[in-house]
Amino acid sequence: MLMQCLIDLFVCLCVCVCVFSSSGLFASHYTEMHYREDGQTVMSTHNSTMNCYYHGEVQGYTHSDVSLSTCSGIRGFILLENKTLMVEPAFEPANDTHVIYEGHHLHFPSGTCGHGHNISTVSHMSAGGPPQSFSTRHKRDVQKTTKYVELIIVADNREFQKQGKDVEKVKQRLAEIANYVDKFYRVLNIRVALVGLEVWSDADKCAVTQDPFTTLHEFLDWRKLKLLPQRPHDNAQLISGVYFQGTTIGMAPIMSMCTAEQSGGIVMDHSDNPLGAAVTLAHELGHNFGMNHDTPERGCGCRMTVDRGGCIMTPSTGYPFPTVFSTCSKKDLVASLEKGVGMCLYNMPEVKMLYGGQKCGNGYIEEGEECDCGEPEECLNPCCNATTCTLKGDAVCAHGQCCEDCQLKPAGTPCRESSNSCDLPEFCTGTTPHCPANVYLHDGHACHNMDGYCYNGICQTHEQQCITLWGPGAKPAPGICFERVNSAGDPYGNCGKDSKGSFAKCQARDARCGKIQCQGGANRPVIGTNAVSIETNIPLQEGGRILCRGTHVYLGDDMPDPGLVLAGTKCAEGMICLNRQCQNVSVFGVHKCSGKCNGRGECNNKKNCHCEAHWAPPFCDRAGFGGSVDSGPMRQAADSSAVAVGALVTLLCLLSAGLIVCLKSKALVQMLCINKKSAIQKLRYSVCFPQISHHSSEPLLPPHNFHSLRRLPECPTRCQPVHISHPMPISGLQPHRTLVSHTHSPGRAAGFHTLPRQLPYANIQVSAVRLRYMSPCTRHPTLQKLISWK
């Protein structure tokens, strides 16, 4: 029986498995780092010339998956409908002898996620499904847009020792783990791209102990202060050789993807086979994405039964390893993405110099390729020649959201809508088939009708969190509830934990950054069976009481409290919660950044101006197509052409009207100037300025933004234009309003941005001599002899 099984497996491996290179696993800026015994850093890029990581499926088997590496022998797993098969070398170092066995024969201690066992839910999600977001604007379909997690994996010193102090062996193990995780997430349209590996070969760079809670926070602090500034990435995971206390084998914060403070996790390498650590890493990465545990009361659908491993987000793991996600995980992911979690994941990492060497047919456009639609037998792209990786016929492009029918979409075509009030849309540039990288409003920008401030692309408010915890109808409690309850410094009212692990009391000004206090909503918290209501009645001096409703979730000391106010929540006017303190939004520099946008745009997370539709980046100080240098233009060229034609027609009409007015004025003045009075009297009493009614509805300037229209109607020959930059009062004339001075840049349209649009001509203050207005009276021969005009 065993022999027949091995024969069947051999046939399956040799004949039926179709695998394709997963070289996109490694980004072009991928780096490896380890340390010498003296602590000196050694950094390098991998120079391997063979492509040894593969994903695929088994022909004839629906829902089958294959993930293999051939870097040192054949290693990996083959997932069939009713079993999981493991392949690995029989000896180390690897030779031609391999073993194939079913996944349930793996030996390792069972373990749980650090969020606790049999927890119905964790932070910010309801047991019945994803939370409802207050925002009504969502991306067109977050599931159809591929997301890319730029990942760094770090191995601690204990892991280095477990692998025989062999740096290359550790790196290969970490790369295998990443390859598995990439395979798990591909079905969710998420690619996990390694941008770096780091091995603490000399000593740990942060405290790594058996206490998983302390280790997690130490690692996240090190990542924020040391790793992130030096090597930009989206998420970092620590693979540890230390055995954590209890049954915990991993831990990560909830809904923290892309944040500088908490986008990461810790994983215990608990199995001889790297697949074990890969499953745990995928689980913790799921928490970063906002996925909850799969528990019976949630009614999750999983195509793998418990005896076959179940799904990845199950609270505890055993054998065989789970390798698929449940329906609950998919719903949680969509809800988080629509809320704004993972704003950094929409830019594709550079893959022009892929780890493992180039290969036409791997699905990635590399240097020297015009397109790549995969192997010829799987390519369905009508624009790309799969054999040569070149474009067909007159095709200009073959891939990307800005490519349609093998041609580039026009500049200004929307390619990614905003997902919430803190997100910004992106537009095709007309020069590339790819949509620009995702950008969002600068941290500290007001959002949600001024009720909140943007933070990491999300608009956090107390009201939103109360609805998440208590359901529709919930709202924040009065400030006195926050102050009284959170001044206790106990599990039910606090500002988090201090460095000693004790609950910290909230100062009065920080009270709204502690445990959230609500009113209304459901009778009990809607976030799961482990959450209970903590109600506090506060008597008022004038009589009566205020009911304050808080929550407490029994998750153990290693679980972040979902009842705490989220970072980035508005705690007062101009103030925001950071590190459990109510701090001024000026710490983000949002006002300074927005100041350079001239009041016609908003600052994005890259500190660039996102301009209104008719203004041009980078500073929104001249006419243009809107958008930013990051997002692409907001308007198409065709729109601007129509506007230009309209402006030209308007200009011609105005010039014609001005010419007629001037000609009529000339005839009228000449009639009035020819009389029997003396020359001086003629000068004194001649109507040298057209008298226009104060009640005229004629606008001062046409209501248009283009500076080409900023001129008065032209006068006849030898007339000089009226200079309105420095108005001079005329004796006896009492104007309503004075025009704003714009002497710095007379050629800019911005100077007229704040002018009143219905100011009549009669309100312009001019002076005949000082402003050199050449009245038609000066053409009278007698006057020309008597007066020398300047």
Q: Exposure of 272 by Cβ count < 10 A (0-12 exposed, 13-18 middle, 19+ buried)?
A: exposed
In three-state secondary structure terms, 216 is helix
Residues 135, 421 contacting (CB under 8 angstroms): yes
Tell me the one-letter amino acid at 783. L
Backbone conformation region of residue 430, classed left if phi is above 0, alpha if psi is from -120 to 50, else beta? left
- d(CA 291, CA 283) in angstroms, rounded, equals 9
- d(CA 35, CA 39) in angstroms, rounded, equals 5
Residues 510, 459 contacting (CB under 8 angstroms): no
Q: Any known ligand binding at 115?
A: no
Q: Which two tokens stand for residue 255?
A: 């809904």
- d(CA 246, CA 212) in angstroms, rounded, equals 10
Whose tokens are 């620590």? That residue is 238
Q: Any known ligand binding at 287?
A: yes
Residues 573, 564 contacting (CB under 8 angstroms): no
Residues 638, 625 contacting (CB under 8 angstroms): no
The 3-state secondary structure of 619-655, one letter per residue: CCCCECCCEECCCECCCCHHHHHHHHHHHHHHHHHHH
In three-state secondary structure terms, 279 is helix
Cβ neighbours around 180 below 10 Å, total: 27
The contacts of residue 749 (CB under 8 Å, 6+ apart) are: 622, 623, 705, 706, 707, 710
Q: Which two tokens stand for residue 371?
A: 């397109």
Nearest to 585 by CA among 597, 569, 601: 569
Q: How do beta strands 452-455 and 458-460 pair?
A: antiparallel
Nearest to 268 by CA among 322, 212, 318: 212
- d(CA 265, CA 177) in angstroms, rounded, equals 15
Residues 28, 196 contacting (CB under 8 angstroms): no
In three-state secondary structure terms, 745 is coil
Q: Which two tokens stand for residue 330?
A: 């998919």
The yes-or-no answer on residue 573 being catalytic is no
Residues 213, 237 contacting (CB under 8 angstroms): no
In three-state secondary structure terms, 314 is coil
Cβ neighbours around 764 below 10 Å, total: 19
Whose tokens are 């206490």? That residue is 211
Q: Any known ligand binding at 552?
A: no
- d(CA 237, CA 513) in angstroms, rounded, equals 28
Q: Which two tokens stand for residue 294?
A: 């799969």
Residues 180, 278 contacting (CB under 8 angstroms): yes
DSSP conformational letter for 147: E
- d(CA 409, CA 146) in angstroms, rounded, equals 19
Nearest-Å Rg of the Cα atoms of the chain is: 35
- d(CA 129, CA 331) in angstroms, rounded, equals 7
The 3-state secondary structure of 232-267, one letter per residue: CCCEEEEEECCCCCCCEEEECCCCCCCCCCCCEEEE
In degrees and rounded to multiples of 5, residue 228 shows phi and psi of -60, -45
The contacts of residue 312 (CB under 8 Å, 6+ apart) are: 184, 279, 282, 283, 286, 322, 323, 324, 325, 326, 329
Catalytically annotated residue among 88, 198, 284, 370: 284
Output the known binding site for Zn(2+): 283, 287, 293
Catalytic residues, by residue number, are: 284
Output the known binding site: 283, 287, 293
